[in-house]
Structure 1
Amino acid sequence: MRDRSSELRLAQVLVETTNTLDDDFDPEHYLSRVASHCVELLDASAAGVVFDGAGAPALATGGHPRDLALDLLGAQRSGGPCVESLGTGLPVPPVRLSAAEPAERWPEFTALARRHGIGVTYAVPLRQRETLLGALNIFVPETSRGPYADGELRLAQSIADAAAVGLHNHRAYTEYRTLTTQLQTALTSRVRIEQAKGILAERWHTGVDEAFDTLRRYARRERLVIDMVATEVIKGSLDDAALRGGWSEPS
């Protein structure tokens, strides 16, 4: 019989993980939640994510104590599952740290992990198509019932894939919001400039092109943004003599 409660919890985690369209989104807090979900769903002691945080490597961890994952990620300077997954963009299947091979492969990391009672570790990449965003590392206690195999790795990869989608969606959302703001600002500026041109053309009984040339000359002469000059014209705080700066009134 299927464990419906586990399936429901996994579905909830995946939905939460992809829901990142929020203005106050914090990547480190978000990925710490992802790591905590992995600890819960994969019977792990700790989990950690290495990711690109504003152009520099950053860490997010989950588990109890939280410093455990930080220590285990930090011990991978000379090699470890997370570093390997970051380097290759591929999963590192579950490795039993009691075997001889990991002690030769990652001596510093393996020694520290075993002192902390970690028996199995594995890592999966956070990828959005061809873009590698980070890597997720799972640390399983020696007391965990085995064997640890492909099922756990696939589950971890599914969560990592959802996290990669979430990160990608938030970056796209942020870029969209920035572009929208820029376009709105440009449109508002254009409306003010057109309004100022109309005011001057009507006041001076001239064409809007001549009025615009005067606005532009003044802005260049005073080293101002033309939108600022237009705003002053609309407010009536810029007189004709200052605006024309010695130019004769158009006939």
Structure 2
Amino acid sequence: MPATEREARIAEAVRDLVHRNADFDPLELLHDLTEHTTSLLPVAGAGVTVVDDLGRVEYATASDERCRRLEEVQIELDEGPCLDATRGGTALAPAPLTGPAAMRWPRFARRARRVGVTAVAAVPLRTPGSTAGALNLMSGQETEIPTANDLRIAQALADATAACFGHQHDLHDQAVLIQQLSTALESRLVIEQAKGVLSERLGLSLDDAFVRLRAHARARQLKLTDLAASVAQGTVPSELSEP
């Protein structure tokens, strides 16, 4: 049976998520997971939560600002699909934010509908020894609700990401995993600061500021977190000012 274009892209995405250099940037890997998810699945956005060193669920990254805010809302309200998938270690099937889903997460559902998100789903970020976090899928009026097969693809992408975290170490070594996730959470703060600096200096939206930051890092084979740290401290490469 001939492979379709989408099937080939899924295989390439899995390969990209699994195979990283030993000194890979954990937060960049998680953002790549959201990027592959939004490009391969019928969703409006994707976000990732992870478990920190104290066992708390924390927002790590998202595909765009709307999704980022809704990930943070889940943490703030202590309810939502990413929290349930992380804590329960099981996937949550795509569901409209009305009826049962609205009853399950009433405050989150109201906030999500207010910004145009109409359905959600989530899959756990699993390792052999634990659940490290979750990948949240968000659909809007402009997108279809993902199917059961779409959820299987999302789980495969999340599993590939979890496998990469243990690329150089035993995945059962919880201390190593916690350190990698802690690094991702620390990097998130630096990148948010850098986005703010670029947004203010260049008059860009936060989404556009991140796109420009990431493109610059990739073009020059820099670690995204290292570049963001420089920008956050006020050192903005002149090339970043160019459209």
TM-score category (smaller protein): 0.5 to 0.7
SS at match of 1:162: helix
Which amino acid is the alignment partner of residue 45 of structure 1?
A: A
Question: 1:193-232, aligned counterparts within 5 Å?
Answer: none
Query: How big is the shift at 1:57?
Result: 4.8
Question: Could you tell me the TM-score, scaled by structure 1's length?
Answer: 0.61
**Contact map agreement 2:62 2:68 (CA 8 A) in 1:** no
CA distance in 1, matches of 2:65, 2:126: 26
| Count of equivalent residues | 170
Residues 169/54 of structure 1: CA separation in 2 closer, same or farther (3 Å cut): farther
Q: Please name the residue that 2:111 is paired with.
A: 112
**Contact map agreement 1:125 1:134 (CA 8 A) in 2:** yes
Residues 95/149 of structure 1: CA separation in 2 closer, same or farther (3 Å cut): same
CA distance in 2, matches of 1:6, 1:126: 23
Q: Please name the residue that 2:207 is paired with.
A: none
SS at match of 2:166: helix
SS at match of 1:20: coil
Q: Please name the residue that 1:82 is paired with.
A: 82
Find the structure with the greater CA-based Rg. 1
Query: How big is the shift at 1:31?
Result: 0.2
Query: How big is the shift at 1:159?
Result: 0.6
CA distance in 2, matches of 1:45, 1:113: 12
Q: Please name the residue that 2:123 is paired with.
A: 124
Query: How big is the shift at 1:108?
Result: 1.6
Residues 78/59 of structure 1: CA separation in 2 closer, same or farther (3 Å cut): closer
SS at match of 1:86: helix
Higher relative contact order (CA 8 A, sep 6+): 2
CA distance in 1, matches of 2:155, 2:109: 22
Identity of aligned residues (%): 30
Query: How big is the shift at 1:131?
Result: 1.8
CA distance in 1, matches of 2:26, 2:157: 15
Which amino acid is the alignment partner of residue 17 of structure 1?
A: L
Query: How big is the shift at 1:104?
Result: 1.7
Question: Could you tell me the TM-score, scaled by structure 2's length?
Answer: 0.63
Query: How big is the shift at 1:51?
Result: 1.5
CA distance in 2, matches of 1:170, 1:117: 41
Query: How big is the shift at 1:21?
Result: 3.2
CA distance in 2, matches of 1:96, 1:35: 20
CA distance in 2, matches of 1:52, 1:21: 23
| 1:193-249 Cα distance to aligned partner (Å, 9 max, x none) | xxxxxxxxxxxxxxxxxxxxxxxxxxxxxxxxxxxxxxxxxxxxxxxxxxxxxxxxx
Query: How big is the shift at 1:78?
Result: 2.9
Residues 3/72 of structure 1: CA separation in 2 closer, same or farther (3 Å cut): farther
Query: How big is the shift at 1:134?
Result: 1.0
Query: How big is the shift at 1:20?
Result: 2.5
SS at match of 1:169: coil
Q: Please name the residue that 2:147 is paired with.
A: 149
Which amino acid is the alignment partner of residue 20 of structure 2?
A: T
Query: How big is the shift at 1:172?
Result: 4.3
Q: Please name the residue that 2:163 is paired with.
A: 165
Residues 149/105 of structure 1: CA separation in 2 closer, same or farther (3 Å cut): same
Residues 140/170 of structure 1: CA separation in 2 closer, same or farther (3 Å cut): farther
CA distance in 1, matches of 2:112, 2:133: 21
Q: Structure 1 unaligned segments of length 5 or more: list them.
A: 179-251
SS at match of 1:12: helix
**Contact map agreement 1:50 1:135 (CA 8 A) in 2:** yes
Q: Please name the residue that 2:92 is paired with.
A: 92
Q: Structure 2 unaligned segments of length 5 or more: list them.
A: 177-243
Residues 171/57 of structure 1: CA separation in 2 closer, same or farther (3 Å cut): farther
SS at match of 1:79: coil
CA distance in 1, matches of 2:57, 2:20: 21
SS at match of 1:94: strand
Q: Please name the residue that 1:6 is paired with.
A: 6
| 1:139-196 Cα distance to aligned partner (Å, 9 max, x none) | 11122235x33111111111111111111214449x9xx9xxxxxxxxxxxxxxxxxx
